[in-house]
Structure 1
Amino acid sequence: MDKGTVIRTIVLAIALVNQFLVGFGLYEIPGTEEEQTAVISSTFTFVTATIAWFKNNYVTAKGKKQKEVLKKEGLTKSK
């Protein structure tokens, strides 16, 4: 996997763990009320999930083959 995929996956995992903790009342952002914490957490999770979903991550076998073809044809950034 490329660096961007790993970073997006890690950030998404953090967002999901955070959402789980807030959902069960185990975590609260300091200086905020419970409702504000839930809104902030939900927004963070939604944004990170959307970014991870829309990016071309190339994690399947088919995706990896597509990436190889794109690199071979010079249609992607070199990494």
Structure 2
Amino acid sequence: MKNLSISTIARTGVLIFALLNQILTISGHNPLPWSDEQAYEGFTLLLTVGSSLWAWWKNNSFTAEAIEADKIMKELKAKKE
């Protein structure tokens, strides 16, 4: 369990959730207590907030100089470890 990454656990959780949702939908149950429009709005909100936070957090290098500086920084960090 130590070797599992957080992203692996997250993807597995989303897959299990999607499969359970599909099984319940096929069997005629509405597993989610909201309408399609509310689900769409909620998903859009999560996507917008998530992508905004990700873009804010990450170092987004656009110029060739910035990309080269990122490579040098990674090399220096690798040597330090």
- Same fold judged by TM-score > 0.5? no
TM-score (norm 1): 0.39
Query: Which of the two has greater helix per residue?
Result: 2
Bigger-Rg structure (1/2): 2
